[in-house]
């Protein structure tokens, strides 16, 4: 168990505090459109950022016959984009509707804790590759393999600007053309 404290920084006041079941040793937190998305070992939560209100609580152990229980019960990262809660697990990317908590998709993903949405495209490390996805559907758009005889793309978060995506391996830095540019 852990306590989530929500503060209004401009007013320097506590908005609320609530107990959250912290299943593992860490939790991922993301603020999106006035909602707080939290991911712990096996569970994703959505709270209001301005008043004490829990919208939903969902397990990522989906037992739908895909992957190792479809989520492999270990949340690695939580992101938010356009009312989507993107929850990366060890072997899956599970996407929840932020407003309802319903699952929009559940796709294979290689445990990325290095993902970022840049100009409406989800960039993530997948195995040794850099993968580009449509965050609304989970569909893979493109994959860029690590160059031959090079170290795998590391777990650094891809960043981008002016139609370029910057990512590095353990030994080299790369500049890759952004999707659709």
Does some domain include residue 38? yes
Does some domain include residue 70? yes
Does some domain include residue 69? yes
- CATH number, domain of 94, equals 2.40.128.630
Position 112 scores a pLDDT of 64
Does some domain include residue 122? no
Does some domain include residue 154? no
DSSP state at residue 73: T
**Mean pLDDT (the chain, rounded):** 85
Q: Kindly provide the residue ranges of all beta strands, DSSP E only, lying in the chain, ordered along the sequence.
A: 2-8, 13-20, 28-32, 35-39, 43-48, 54-59, 75-81, 84-89, 92-97, 103-108, 115-118, 121-126, 129-133, 140-144, 159-161, 164-168, 173-177
Q: Are 98 and 32 in contact (CB under 8 A)?
A: yes
What percent of the chain stands above pLDDT 90?
A: 37
Domain that holds residue 38: 2-113
End-to-end CA gap in the chain: 46
Does some domain include residue 56? yes
Q: How would residue 41 be classed by pLDDT, with cut points 50, 70 and 90?
A: confident
In the predicted structure, residue 154 carries a pLDDT above the cut 80? no
pLDDT in tens, 15-36: 888 888 776 667 888 999 999 9
Q: How would residue 56 be classed by pLDDT, with cut points 50, 70 and 90?
A: very high
Q: Three-state DSSP class for 55?
A: strand
pLDDT in tens, 69-111: 554 568 888 999 999 999 988 788 999 999 999 999 988 887 6
pTM listed for this prediction: 0.85
> 3 or 181: which carries more pLDDT confidence?
3
Q: Are 72 and 89 in contact (CB under 8 A)?
A: yes
Domain count, the chain: 1
Give the number of C-alpha atoms closer than 13 A to the C-alpha of residue 88, restricted to the C-beta side: 22
Does some domain include residue 50? yes
């Amino acid at each position: 168990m852990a306590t989530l404290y929500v503060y209004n920084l401009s007013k320097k006041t506590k908005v609320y505090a609530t107990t959250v079941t912290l299943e593992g040793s860490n939790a991922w937190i993301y603020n999106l459109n006035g909602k707080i998305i939290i991911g712990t070992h096996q569970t994703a939560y959505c709270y209001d950022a301005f008043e004490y209100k829990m919208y939903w609580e969902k397990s990522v152990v989906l037992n739908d016959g895909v992957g190792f229980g479809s989520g492999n019960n270990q949340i690695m990262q939580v992101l938010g984009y356009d009312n989507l809660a993107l929850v990366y697990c060890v072997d899956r990317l599970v996407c929840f509707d932020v407003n309802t908590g319903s699952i929009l998709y559940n796709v294979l993903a290689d445990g990325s804790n290095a993902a970022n949405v840049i100009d409406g495209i989800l960039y993530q490390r997948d195995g040794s590759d850099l993968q580009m996805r449509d965050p609304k559907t989970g569909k893979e758009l493109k994959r860029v393999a690590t160059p031959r005889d090079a170290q795998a793309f590391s777990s650094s978060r891809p960043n981008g600007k002016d139609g370029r995506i910057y990512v590095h391996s353990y030994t080299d830095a790369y500049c890759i053309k952004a999707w659709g540019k």
